[in-house]
Chain A
Amino acid sequence: MAIKTSVDIGGVTIKNPVMTASGTFGYGEEFAPYTDLRALGAVVVKGLSLKPRPGNPTPRTVETPSGMLNAIGLQNVGVEPFIEEKLPYLRDIGVPAIANIFGESVDEYRAVAERLEGCKGIAAIEINISCPNVKKGGLQFGTDPNSARTVVEAVKAVTSLPVMTKLSPNVTDIRAMALAVEDGGTDSISLINTITGMVVDIDKRRPVLANGVGGLSGPAIRPVAVRMVCEVASVVRVPVIGMGGIMNGDDALQFIIAGATAVQVGTASFIDPDSAAKVVSGIESYMKKYNIEDINELVGSIKLD
């Protein structure tokens, strides 16, 4: 049986619904010795700002039960070196790159998007309005619907690329945020970013992370993420991309059945750099097992009665 795994994630079609999550897969090339990058639907690269950012002091990560906290602080090479030095690799091997962008102001988001305009090899832009680990920008846009809409509108005005907006779970009503960015013109919505958390060193009586708080990721957050994807998918028309603790194909299918058109694999890549490719084959096995010809039949097929 021929199975169809390609999905339209809002103006761009990818060959299967599995991407890597921003900040967990470098710029792709780092993982080439360990996995077949061509097996992936797309690679979402580490968040890009207009200028390079040095990131936070260490410790930056700490393990938690079935998860980890990170407070990297969006360390990145900056958009210009990305285009010059990092993007050609993914372009040359034919893997769609999705550029995750970040700014401390609406102007910076706009400027990064403008710089990416016309760059070959970029399939879409993912707007990060949800990083909990930086003082300015990031989360402030991610927790206020009006600010979020403004950022999306600003980026949409300067780019011809499809725009995906990544939501923070650190809000009371994720549906309000989703509706706001949809209203702002986003072509798709990805969620969830990490959940803000803290681990305390009881000997030193201080937080383990130098930043104090960090973002929780990994299997520990999966049920929260699936619930939020289900909520968002039920109120928006644009495709939803689900993520949060996906370790294998079965985990990914929870998101797809709950309403996600595609998924992103994040923390799992730290443990097994071949995780995302394994998620692809896990989804295909499930489709064969249940005689599902087109992955789109599964999207949002959850029975909630």
Chain B
Amino acid sequence: MARAEVLYNRALSPYHFLMGLSYTGVRPAPGQFVMLRISSGSDPLLRRPFGVFSLLEDERGQVTGITILYRVVGRGTQIMSEFGEGQAVDLLGPLGNGFPAPKEGERTILVAGGMGLAPLNLMALVYPESKLIFGARDGVEASVIDASKEYGLLPSVVTEDGSEGEKGLVTDLLSSALEGLDPASVVVHSCGPMGMLRAVSALMLEMGVKTYVSLENSMACGLGACLGCAVTCTGNGGEGEYRFVCSDGPVFESTDIDWARIRDGH
């Protein structure tokens, strides 16, 4: 646990924000997350999990802060959106496993949907040879990609309503990106809504491309204690088993997930 301070809290749209926080602990790996305590009182009570979007560094490359990307969805994030510079927050992390580092000769494709951009932005910054594909429902949601472009990243953008980039789905761009590539040489890392992850995983399974997904789930602790963030996985000799987004993930190989038993939309 560490006391952090809000360095900035910038609106990317009326609902989407990028928050910079002071932080000097262990360097977070792409795909790891932090748990933020929004209130020092009891309401809201629980911490909120956020993927690390980028690292702030001093001239010697030491980590001095992190940024997180968030969307206002409830009381906790509403309160966060009103935080000003200097606001103290309590930060626990980095937590979780993160994405596996690309191996030599491997082609890395990052597929982000909406707020799923957060961990993949850091992945793209740490591994600049990766290709970043970003999809959003509409122009408002697509506004978050501006934060990636400010870092010099050159994402391929697609929206469902065509208001930003091409009109279509991330799977369209993913299929084109894979044309002419040896599937065995490619690894896809994906984060976004469950329906998108399901579609990406199914398509990549069909094409024989190794795929990792970073999952979201509501969780109380982030430490593997509350057992709230269970996800249905294959394994356990075909019987299936629950694993936990916080302590076993948030990154899983897509074939470890029992997609048939997961309901989209949460």
Q: Chain A interface (Cβ within 8 Å of chain B)?
A: 23-26, 30-31, 34, 46, 54-55, 57-63, 65-68, 70, 72, 75, 218-220, 247, 267, 269-274
A54 to B223, CA, bound (A): 19
User: Is the beta-carbon distance between B219 and A61 smaller than 8 angstroms?
Assistant: yes
Known A-B contacts A34-B1, A247-B42, A271-B46; A72 and B226 likewise in contact (beta carbons under 8 Å): yes
Shortest A295–chain B CB gap in Å is 26
A24 to B226, CA, bound (A): 6
B100 within 8 A of A: no
Query: B254-266 CB contact bits vs A (8 Å, 1 = yes)?
Result: 0000000000001
User: Is the beta-carbon distance between A269 and B42 smaller than 8 angstroms?
Assistant: no
Shortest B193–chain A CB gap in Å is 16
User: Is the beta-carbon distance between B220 and A61 smaller than 8 angstroms?
Assistant: yes
Question: Which residue of chain B lies nearest to A76 when distances are taken between CB atoms in the complex?
Answer: B227
B228 within 8 A of A: yes
Q: Chain B interface (Cβ within 8 Å of chain A)?
A: 1, 37, 42-47, 90, 92, 217-221, 223-232, 241-242, 247, 266
- Residues of B with C-beta under 8 A to A70: 220, 226, 228
User: Is the beta-carbon distance between A218 and B42 smaller than 8 angstroms?
Assistant: yes
Shortest B241–chain A CB gap in Å is 7
Most B Cβ at <10 Å: residue of A59, A63, A218:
A63
A75 to B241, CA, bound (A): 11
- Residues of A with C-beta under 8 A to B92: 34, 273
Interface of B is mostly: loop
Known A-B contacts A25-B225, A54-B242, A273-B1; A75 and B230 likewise in contact (beta carbons under 8 Å): yes
Question: Which residue of chain B lies nearest to A222 when distances are taken between CB atoms in the complex?
Answer: B42
- Residues of A with C-beta under 8 A to B218: 59, 61-62
User: Is the beta-carbon distance between B266 and A72 smaller than 8 angstroms?
Assistant: no
- Residues of B with C-beta under 8 A to A220: 42
- Residues of B with C-beta under 8 A to A272: 1, 37, 90
User: Is the beta-carbon distance between B220 and A270 smaller than 8 angstroms?
Assistant: yes
Question: Which residue of chain A lies nearest to B221 when distances are taken between CB atoms in the complex?
Answer: A270
A31 to B231, CA, bound (A): 22
User: Is the beta-carbon distance between A61 and B42 smaller than 8 angstroms?
Assistant: no
- Residues of A with C-beta under 8 A to B219: 61
A31 to B1, CA, bound (A): 12
Q: List 8 A-B contacts (CB under 8 A).
A: A24-B225, A25-B225, A30-B223, A58-B231, A267-B220, A269-B221, A269-B225, A273-B92
A25 to B1, CA, bound (A): 16
Beyond the given A60-B230, A61-B226, A270-B220, please list 15 additional residue pairs across the A-B interface where CB-CB is below 8 A.
A26-B225, A30-B224, A30-B247, A34-B1, A58-B230, A61-B220, A65-B43, A66-B43, A67-B45, A68-B46, A70-B226, A70-B228, A75-B230, A270-B46, A273-B92
